[in-house]
């Protein structure tokens, strides 16, 4: 099996394109075949080196390695021009107003045997002779794709179903050149939860956006694989090795798949919590560009769904933050300051200052004061984190340590005193 991923370099790699690349890669790896990367860069205005680099960057982040390429379609123009001459000399194509058109038979049909959709029939009477080269001799898309697929010995073309209308034209060109076409499989397009074609309004619509949002490549691969394919009705989590072993075109759905970022967040959270703390720390440091205490990473891991969740959730364990005024106003009232002062006194005498003993101290204080746990815990949380959202309060206090915790509580008490004055 020889498959190819042939994106047009028009910017960041769209999630739909990433799924197409993944399916082709899984087929190649599962069959022991070859995964070919070809850049459809005949539109020179849009095909900038920066856009090509974005595609390479996205595939590398997804860890989808290719066996051959990347080939530039534009650099293959001499070969395309040779094929155009061959088609004209054989009578399969002719000149019209300077351009070159392929002759489409008046009668008959072209049948595409699609691995996902079954037979798709195109009546020749509905297809006009179509242009394969401009008047300046430059090849058009369908000609270039057909020639490249022949030369690169592609056995299976797996791409989005927005290409279905191109397929009969490419088959005609291949057969006119004396070659039998590859097998085809057209993937249903991706939709957002609202049923409309996936776009930026649905959230992260590109691979780069997913990376910046803190998703893990292994979670993205797992989720993308399930957008239109399933091994059975119950299995959701697959290792990459399991995907390679089990993926097949026969189980790809004909219906559009829904990209739901909330489901991806949930799946990513599962992957994230299964990471070794050291590995999670390494990935966080790479995303944030700064060193992080291992203890802070360990404390935050359980509540994170993406790497980007770490800083708003647990950044206070790395550096002090200003108080969120809304959180301060909501919590620091109705006896909260007195409770915080009592908590400070209790924590000052806690020994050893670890999660277990911090929890015992604070729960004992709750009982002594006869209040609800949140009446003690929330003032401490605002004092040390600046807000009402944090990892577990006992773990957070222990991770900060006695000295820093007391210093932050003292600062909060001074602020409260100043407010009351």
At 23-52, the pLDDT tens digits run 999 999 999 999 999 999 987 777 888 999
The pLDDT score that the predictor gives to residue 347 is: 98
Cα of 176 vs its chain's centroid, Å? 40
Could you tell me if residue 361 is inside a domain?
yes
Q: Tell me the mean pLDDT in the region 355-359.
A: 98
Q: Domain of 375: which CATH number?
A: 1.10.10.350
pLDDT higher for 374 or 200? 374
The pLDDT score that the predictor gives to residue 21 is: 98
Please confirm whether the linkage preceding 328 is cis (ω < 30° from 0): no
Whether residues 365 and 393 fall in one domain: yes
Q: Does the pTM exceed 0.85?
A: yes
Answer yes or no: are the C-beta atoms of 413 and 397 closer than 8 Å. no
Residues tagged active-site: 200
Sheet with 34-39, side-by-side order of all strands: 68-72, 34-39, 2-5, 156-160, 183-187, 109-114, 118-123
d(CA 237, CA 58): 22
Could you tell me if residue 411 is inside a domain?
yes
Whether residue 249 is predicted with pLDDT greater than 70 in this model: the reply is yes
Whether residues 300 and 333 fall in one domain: no
Whether residues 368 and 414 fall in one domain: yes
**Which pLDDT tens digit goes with each residue over 183-207?**
999 999 899 888 887 766 666 679 9
Could you tell me if residue 133 is inside a domain?
no
Whether residues 370 and 410 fall in one domain: yes
Could you tell me if residue 260 is inside a domain?
no
**Which pLDDT tens digit goes with each residue over 288-338?**
999 999 999 999 999 999 999 999 999 999 999 999 999 999 999 889 999
Whether residue 421 is predicted with pLDDT greater than 70 in this model: the reply is no
Sheet with 99-102, side-by-side order of all strands: 93-96, 99-102, 130-133
Whether residue 63 is predicted with pLDDT greater than 90 in this model: the reply is yes
Answer yes or no: are the C-beta atoms of 417 and 340 closer than 8 Å. no
Percent of the chain clearing pLDDT 70 (strictly above)? 98
Could you tell me if residue 136 is inside a domain?
no
Quick one: residue 70, left, alpha or beta (phi over 0 = left, psi -120 to 50 = alpha)?
Answer: beta
Buried b vs exposed e over 318-350: b needs ≥16 C-beta within 10 Å? Answer: beeeebbeebbeebbeeebbebbbebbebbeeb
Q: Quick one: tokens of 331?
A: 């919590």
Whether residues 291 and 371 fall in one domain: no
Whether residues 374 and 344 fall in one domain: yes
The pLDDT score that the predictor gives to residue 405 is: 98
Range of the domain at 404: 325-420
Task: Compute how many other C-beta atoms are within 10 angstroms of the C-beta atom of residue 131.
Answer: 18
> What total of structural domains would you count in the chain?
2
The pLDDT score that the predictor gives to residue 101 is: 98
The pLDDT score that the predictor gives to residue 193 is: 85
The pLDDT score that the predictor gives to residue 233 is: 85
Could you tell me if residue 356 is inside a domain?
yes
Percent of the chain clearing pLDDT 90 (strictly above)? 91
Of the candidates 317, 340, 373, which is a domain's last residue?
A: 317
Whether residues 356 and 386 fall in one domain: yes
């Amino acid at each position: 099996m020889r498959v190819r991923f042939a994106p047009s370099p028009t910017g960041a790699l769209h999630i739909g394109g990433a799924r197409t690349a993944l399916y082709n890669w899984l087929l190649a790896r599962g069959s022991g075949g070859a995964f070919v990367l070809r850049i459809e860069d005949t539109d020179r205005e849009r095909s900038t080196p920066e856009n090509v680099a974005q595609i390479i960057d996205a595939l590398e982040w997804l860890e989808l390695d290719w066996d051959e390429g990347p080939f530039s379609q534009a650099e293959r123009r001499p070969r395309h021009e040779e094929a155009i001459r061959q088609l004209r000399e054989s009578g399969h194509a002719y000149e019209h107003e300077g351009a070159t058109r392929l002759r489409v038979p008046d009668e008959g049909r072209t049948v595409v045997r699609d691995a996902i959709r079954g037979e798709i029939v195109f009546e020749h009477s509905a297809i006009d002779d179509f242009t394969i080269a401009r008047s300046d001799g430059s090849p058009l898309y369908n000609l270039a794709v057909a020639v490249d697929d022949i030369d690169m010995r592609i056995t299976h073309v797996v791409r989005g179903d927005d290409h279905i209308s191109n397929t009969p034209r490419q088959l005609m060109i291949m057969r006119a050149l004396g070659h039998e076409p590859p097998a085809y499989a057209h993937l249903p397009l991706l939709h957002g939860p609202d049923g409309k074609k996936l776009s930026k309004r649905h959230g992260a619509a590109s691979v780069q956006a997913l990376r910046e949002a803190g998703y893990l490549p292994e979670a993205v691969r797992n989720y993308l694989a399930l957008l239109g394919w399933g091994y059975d009705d119950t299995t959701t989590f697959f290792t990459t090795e399991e995907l390679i072993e089990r993926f097949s075109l026969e189980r790809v759905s004909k219906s559009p798949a829904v990209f739901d970022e909330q489901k991806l967040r949930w799946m990513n959270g599962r992957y994230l919590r299964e990471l070794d703390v050291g590995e999670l720390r390494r990935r966080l440091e790479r995303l944030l560009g700064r060193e992080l205490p291992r203890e802070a990473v360990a404390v935050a891991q359980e509540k994170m769904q993406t790497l980007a969740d770490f800083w708003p959730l647990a950044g206070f364990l790395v550096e002090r933050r200003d108080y969120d005024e809304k959180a301060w106003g909501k919590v620091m009232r109705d006896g909260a300051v007195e409770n915080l002062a009592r908590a400070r006194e209790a924590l000052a005498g806690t020994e050893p200052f670890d999660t277990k003993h911090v929890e015992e101290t604070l729960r004992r204080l709750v009982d002594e004061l006869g209040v609800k746990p949140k009446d003690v815990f929330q003032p401490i949380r605002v004092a040390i984190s600046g807000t009402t959202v944090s990892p577990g309060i006992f773990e957070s206090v222990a991770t900060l340590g006695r000295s820093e915790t007391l210093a932050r509580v003292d600062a909060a008490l001074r602020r409260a005193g100043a407010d009351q004055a």
